[in-house]
C-alpha cells in the first residue's frame, strides 16, 4: 500500500458520512419496547445501503437511565436493556463486515450518582476518591458557592449532607461532574476508552467535551450581554442568561484532550469528534481540532439551531473556516438533542422537498457529516403528549419547551406492522410511533423512486466517489437570496453547488460556462440558466 493510500485509510473520517443511531429507538430485537444492540445489528444493512461510512451509537453503558444513558454507572459494561458485551462485540463485527466504522459515545465530563466512584466520593472528605468529583463548601449563609446554573434548570450545585458540601452537576443532580483536573480521574477515564478501543471500536463522540474542566477559583459567571442568545438553549431557560466563562471551556481542557489524542494515536485509524456546547461554538470547535495533538474534529450547535437562511448557514461555516489552526470541521442538521430539521426549518407541505435538499446540502459541506436516524426518510418532529414525555428536560420546561422526545421516537420500518415494525405486536414502545411516521416508513419508501430514502441513497452513494465533495476546499459564491452557492475543490474546476432555500422557484444564470449537470433535485439546466424549484438543489461543473 502506498503512503498516500495508507494516510487515506487512517484518515477515513475526512469527508465521511456517519449515521447516528439512538439505540433506544432504532430496533427492538428482544421485544421489551426498547431498542437494543442486537436490533441495531439486525438493521445495519439499511445503514450500509445509504453509502454511509460509519455509525455513531449514543450511550449503551450501564446506567440508571435518568438521562437515558448519558448518566453512566459503569463505563466498561453494557446496560442489560441494550444487551451484553457479547452483543456489542457482535455488533462491531457485523458493522465491520459491512464496511462501516463504529463510533461510540463517551460521556467523560460526568457520571451517574450511582457510579461506585461517586458512591465512595460522597461518603466523607477523606476517602480514596474524595476529590474525584467537584466539591465545594457553602457560602457562610449556606447557599451554593457561586451562581453557576444547570443546563437542565436551577442551580448547578447539589447539597450532600454526608460531606457537608455541595457537588457540581452541569446537568441533572444525578449527573455529578467528574474532577478532570485530577490526573487519577483522567487515567481512569482513559482506561475506559482503551477498553473499547481494544474491543474494536473505531472512535468516540465526546459528549459535551468543553465541560471537562472548571475554574478552580469557582468565580461567578457574568450576565450575558443584552440581545445575545446562546446556541442550543431554549428561550425560557435561565442558563441562557449567563456568559459561561468559568463553568466550562477552560484552558486546562486542552491538556485532557491531548492525553486522549495520544491514546488514540496508539490505535491507528481511530477517530474523535467533540460535541461543543459553548457561547463561542465555532471558535471553540476550531481550538479543539487545531493541530495533530488535539482532536480530529468537533461540532457545535450552529447549524442545529440557526435560522434557515443563506446568510445564517454561510456565517456558521465561514466562521469556522476563518479560525486559525487549519482544523477539520463536522456538521449536522439534526440529532437526538434538537427538533428535527424538516420541522425546524419547513412547513408540513415542504417536508419531502426540504428533506432531499438537506441531504444534498449536508453532503456538499466540507467536513465530517452526521446524518441522524430518520433524516433519510424525511421524518418530522413527533408531537409527544405530556403524559408520554420521558425527557426530564422537557418535563421541567413544558410547555414552552417540550424536550427532546419528539426527535427520539422509534424508527418506522414497516408501515403495515404494529409499532411500525420497531417492536413486536402487543408490546408498548417506550415512546409512541406516530401515524404520520408510518406513512414515511422504510417499507413505503423502498419501492418509490421519488421517495426521500431513494434520493438519499442515490445521492450519498454518488458523493462517496466524488473526492472534491469529500475532502476539497470550500468557498462561497455570491448569489442573491434565497440562493446559497458554494464551490468545492482546490480550483474552479471543482463542483458548483447551488441551493434554493426558499419555497418559490428561482432562476440563476451561471457564468464561465459551458456547464454540465452532475446531480439535481427539483432543478434543471437550460443553457447557462439553472431553474430551481422551491427547496431545489443543483450540482454541476465545467468540463475539463
Q: Report DSSP letters for 356-424, one per residue.
A: HHHHHHHHTSSSEEEEETTGGGTPPPP---GGG---HHHHHHTTTS--SGGGSSPP---TTSGGGGSS-
- Asked if 274 and 206 count as a contact pair (C-beta separation under 8 A), the reply is yes
Q: Is the dihedral of CA 257, 263, 269, 275 positive or negative?
A: negative
Angle at which helix 183-198 crosses helix 253-265, to 10 degrees, equals 30
Distance CA 529, CA 475 (A): 21
Strand 297-299 with 529-541, pairing: unpaired
Please name the residue that has the C-alpha cell 476546499.
Answer: 473
Distance CA 112, CA 102 (A): 24
Q: Which is nearest to 290 in space by CA: 326, 330, 250, 257? A: 326
- Asked if 14 and 366 count as a contact pair (C-beta separation under 8 A), the reply is no
CA distances 462 to 269, 363, 518, 540, Å, are: 24, 10, 10, 13
Counting every residue written for the chain, the total comes to 544
C-alpha cell at position 228:
445575545
Residues forming the active site: 207, 275
Question: According to the 3-state scheme, what is the secondary structure of 372-390?
Answer: ECCHHHCCCCCCCCHHHCC
- Asked if 26 and 431 count as a contact pair (C-beta separation under 8 A), the reply is no
Strand 203-206 with 101-106, pairing: parallel
SS3 44: helix
Strand 74-78 with 61-62, pairing: antiparallel
C-alpha cell at position 437:
411516521
C-alpha cell at position 205:
463522540
C-alpha cell at position 452:
426521500
Angle at which helix 452-464 crosses helix 351-363, to 10 degrees, equals 10
C-alpha cell at position 483:
440562493
Amino acid at each position: 500500500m502506498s503512503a498516500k493510500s495508507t494516510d487515506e485509510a487512517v484518515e477515513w473520517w475526512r469527508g465521511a458520512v456517519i449515521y447516528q443511531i439512538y439505540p433506544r429507538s432504532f430496533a427492538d430485537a428482544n421485544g421489551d419496547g426498547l431498542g437494543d444492540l442486537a436490533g441495531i445489528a439486525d438493521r445495519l444493512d439499511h445503514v450500509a445501503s445509504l453509502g454511509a461510512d460509519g455509525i455513531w451509537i449514543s450511550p449503551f453503558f450501564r446506567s440508571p437511565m435518568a438521562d437515558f444513558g448519558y448518566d453512566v454507572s459503569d463505563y466498561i459494561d453494557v446496560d442489560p436493556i441494550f444487551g451484553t458485551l457479547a452483543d456489542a462485540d457482535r455488533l462491531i463485527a457485523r458493522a465491520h463486515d459491512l464496511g462501516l466504522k463504529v463510533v461510540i459515545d463517551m460521556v467523560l465530563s460526568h457520571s451517574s450518582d450511582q457510579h461506585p466512584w461517586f458512591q465512595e466520593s460522597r461518603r466523607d472528605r477523606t476517602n480514596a476518591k474524595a476529590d474525584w468529583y467537584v466539591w465545594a463548601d457553602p457560602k457562610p449563609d449556606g447557599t451554593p458557592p457561586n451562581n453557576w446554573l444547570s443546563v437542565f434548570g436551577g442551580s448547578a450545585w447539589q447539597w450532600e449532607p454526608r460531606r457537608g458540601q455541595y457537588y457540581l452537576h452541569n446537568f441533572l443532580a444525578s449527573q455529578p461532574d467528574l474532577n478532570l483536573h485530577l490526573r487519577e480521574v483522567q487515567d481512569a477515564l482513559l482506561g475506559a476508552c482503551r477498553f473499547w478501543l481494544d474491543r474494536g471500536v473505531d472512535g468516540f463522540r465526546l459528549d459535551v467535551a468543553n465541560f471537562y474542566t472548571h475554574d478552580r477559583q469557582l468565580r461567578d459567571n457574568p450576565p450575558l450581554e443584552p440581545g445575545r442568545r446562546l446556541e442550543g438553549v431554549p428561550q425560557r431557560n435561565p442558563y441562557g442568561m449567563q456568559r459561561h466563562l468559568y463553568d466550562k471551556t477552560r484552558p486546562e481542557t486542552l491538556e485532557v484532550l491531548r492525553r486522549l489524542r495520544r491514546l488514540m494515536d496508539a490505535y491507528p485509524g481511530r477517530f474523535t469528534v467533540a460535541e461543543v456546547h459553548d457561547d463561542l461554538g465555532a471558535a471553540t470547535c476550531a481550538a479543539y481540532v487545531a493541530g495533530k495533538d488535539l482532536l480530529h474534529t468537533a461540532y457545535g450547535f450552529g447549524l442545529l439551531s440557526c435560522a434557515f437562511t443563506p446568510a445564517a448557514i454561510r456565517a456558521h461555516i465561514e466562521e469556522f473556516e476563518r479560525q486559525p489552526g487549519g482544523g477539520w470541521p463536522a456538521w449536522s442538521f439534526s440529532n437526538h438533542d434538537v427538533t428535527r430539521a424538516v420541522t425546524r426549518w419547513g412547513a408540513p407541505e415542504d417536508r419531502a422537498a426540504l428533506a432531499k435538499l438537506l441531504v444534498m446540502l449536508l453532503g456538499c459541506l466540507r467536513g465530517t457529516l452526521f446524518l441522524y436516524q430518520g433524516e433519510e426518510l424525511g421524518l418530522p418532529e413527533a408531537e409527544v403528549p405530556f403524559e408520554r414525555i420521558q425527557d426530564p428536560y422537557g418535563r421541567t420546561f413544558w410547555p414552552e419547551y417540550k424536550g427532546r422526545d419528539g426527535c427520539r421516537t422509534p424508527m418506522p420500518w414497516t408501515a403495515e406492522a404494529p409499532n411500525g415494525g420497531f417492536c413486536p405486536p402487543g408490546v408498548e414502545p417506550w415512546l409512541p410511533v406516530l401515524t404520520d411516521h408510518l406513512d414515511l416508513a422504510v417499507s413505503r419508501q423502498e419501492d418509490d423512486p421519488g421517495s426521500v430514502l431513494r434520493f438519499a441513497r442515490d445521492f450519498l452513494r454518488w458523493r462517496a466517489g466524488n473526492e472534491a465533495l469529500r475532502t476539497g476546499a470550500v468557498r462561497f459564491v455570491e448569489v442573491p437570496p434565497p440562493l446559497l452557492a458554494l464551490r468545492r475543490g482546490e480550483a474552479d474546476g471543482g463542483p458548483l453547488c447551488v441551493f434554493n432555500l426558499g419555497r418559490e422557484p428561482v432562476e440563476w444564470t451561471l457564468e464561465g460556462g459551458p456547464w454540465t449537470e452532475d446531480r439535481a433535485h427539483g432543478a434543471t439546466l437550460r443553457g447557462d440558466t439553472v431553474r430551481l424549484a422551491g427547496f431545489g438543489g443543483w450540482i454541476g461543473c465545467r468540463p475539463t
